[in-house]
Amino acid sequence: MPDGGHAPVLLEEAVAALAIKRDGTYVDATFGRGGHARRILDSLGREGRLVALDRDPAAEAVARSWREPRFSFHRARFSELDAVLDSFGIGHVDGMLLDLGISSPQIDDPERGFSLRADGPLDMRMDPSHGTSAAQWLAHATERDLREVIATYGEERFAQQIARALVATRARQPIVRTRQLAAIVAEAVGARPRRDRSQDPATRTFQALRIHINQELEELALALDRALPRLASGGRLAVISFHSLEDRIVKQFFRRHAQPFGGDPRLSRLPIAAAALPSPGLKLIGRAVRPREAEVLANPRARSATLRVAERTQAPLA
Ligand SMILES: C[S@@+](CC[C@H](N)C(=O)[O-])C[C@H]1O[C@@H](n2cnc3c(N)ncnc32)[C@H](O)[C@@H]1O
């Protein structure tokens, strides 16, 4: 495992999917501990270049320790891609990787507040120097907002009961620790039949809060939007997602840009000769890739991963 314990998921598959040109310019928008970044650098020649981003200061500390002239790092959100590329004087790139979600070191450090097993402050920010922590949000959110976030981002069917329990608890004491939150959720869900008995009853609530606090789905949608015009013709975009909400955004974005008229069913029924249709800006490369059984056995975090890949065509963007 590279620096600090994150086993990169779908490593071979994702780097192969980028079809790396030795003198190309690439972006790893989710550096983490640099597992994918290292492999990309290994595939590049002397003239190649890799720009990495991560919003997490711990990821930045690892990246800054790399002594590698072909590599540069910027602490930024991936929605800030344009500003980062502009600051390096880069117009177009030959490929970009997004390996979504959080890294193992983020989960494993109780002080970050992502873990429902080890007790720690309820923070959950990938960049703890900005924005609102989970504890701050839980202190003020309305019961309705709590329910909606937990139901939507956690796909939790007991969201109503959990939201009510959170509001009742915070009237007596602030909710500020991870184990405290896990216990409140477990009690609210009680003996109700759960979909997955092997899963902690608070797993979905933790996922929901994390997605909300870090605006993960908004960030993903913006990142895809920013990435597309930055791809050179033939440039690849590879995205590894970890749950169905993320995967749906990626799948729909790829489909929209890989079909004439953005795949609008009303327009695609018009009697227009195929040659006269506008050419789409992206071409899908293969089907969705899932990890092999051996990888899931070695790294349970890979279990829910899906890799999707698309290539920029020569067509102008609409
Ligand atoms: C799954 S880890 C990436 C692991 C990495 N591929 C490796 O091999 O070590 C995801 C990383 O993306 C970062 N991240 C997630 N969302 C981000 C965003 N919107 N902007 C910048 N970084 C983000 C997280 O801080 C985390 O370090």
User: Does the structure show a pLDDT above 70 at 229?
Assistant: yes
pLDDT for 5 equals 80
Q: Is the CB of 99 under 6 A from ligand 1?
A: yes
By alpha-carbon position, which residue is closest to atom 25 of ligand 1?
A: 56
Q: In whole angstroms, give the CA distance from residue 164 to residue 122.
A: 19
Question: What are the tens digits of pLDDT across the range 272-309?
Answer: 666 666 788 999 999 999 999 999 999 989 999 999 99
Residue 54 CB less than 6 A away from ligand 1? yes
Please tell me the number of Cα atoms within 13 Å of 3 on its side-chain side: 17
Torsional class of 133: left (φ above 0), alpha (ψ -120 to 50), beta (otherwise): beta
Per-residue pLDDT averaged across 146-152, rounded?
98
Among 27-41, 162-176, 244-258, 273-287, the least confident range: 273-287
Residues belonging to the chain: 318
Give the pLDDT confidence score for residue 260 in this predicted structure: 75
Torsion of CA 253, 254, 257, 263, to 10 degrees: -80
> Among 212, 284, 293, which Cα is nearest to 250's?
284
Which atom of ligand 1 is the closest one to the Cα of 37?
Answer: 8
Q: What six digits make up the tokens of 239? A: 């995205």
Atom number of ligand 1 nearest to Cα 56: 25
**Of residues 185, 189, 190, the one with CA closest to residue 206:** 185
* Any ligand 1 atom below 6 A from CB of 102: yes
Average pLDDT over all residues of the chain = 93
C-alpha closest to that of 162 among 189, 181, 193: 189
For residue 53, what is the enclosing H or E element? Answer: strand 49-54
pLDDT score at 2: 43
Ligand 1 site, residue 32, Cβ cutoff 6 A: yes
pLDDT band for 265, please (50, 70, 90 cuts). Answer: low
CB of 306 within 6 A of ligand 1: the answer is: no
126 lines ligand 1 (CB under 6 A): yes
Q: Which residues of 130-167 are buried (b: 16+ CB within 10 A; e: fewer)?
A: eebbbbbbbeebeeeebbbbbbebbebebbbbbbebbe
**pLDDT given at position 259:** 86
Ligand 1 atom closest to the CA of 76, numbered from 1: 21
* DSSP calls for 104-121: HHHHH-GGGS--SSS--B
The lowest-confidence range among 44-48, 107-111, 260-264 is 260-264
Rounded average pLDDT over 51-63: 97
For 94-140, write each residue's pLDDT tens digit: 999 999 999 999 999 999 999 988 999 999 999 999 999 999 999 99
pLDDT attached to residue 270: 66
For 180, the 3-state DSSP assignment is: helix
- Looking at ligand 1, which residue's alpha carbon is closest to its atom 20? 77
92: CB partners within 8 A, 6+ apart? 25, 230, 231, 232, 235
pLDDT of residue 267: 66
Q: List helix spans (H) across 113-196.
A: 134-140, 143-154, 159-170, 178-189
Output the CA 78–ligand 1 centroid distance in Å. Answer: 9
Residue pair 43/15 in contact by the 8 Å Cβ criterion: yes
Ligand 1 binding pocket includes 80 (Cβ within 6 Å): no
Distance CA 178, CA 194 (A): 21
How distant, in Å, are the alpha carbons of 91, 254, 283 from that of 228?
12, 10, 12
Q: Say if residue 179's pLDDT is above 80.
A: yes
Compute the distance from residue 48 Cα to the ligand 1 centre, in Å. 22
Query: Longest Cα pair distance anywhere in the chain, in angstroms?
Result: 68
* Confidence class for position 3, pLDDT limits 50, 70, 90: very low
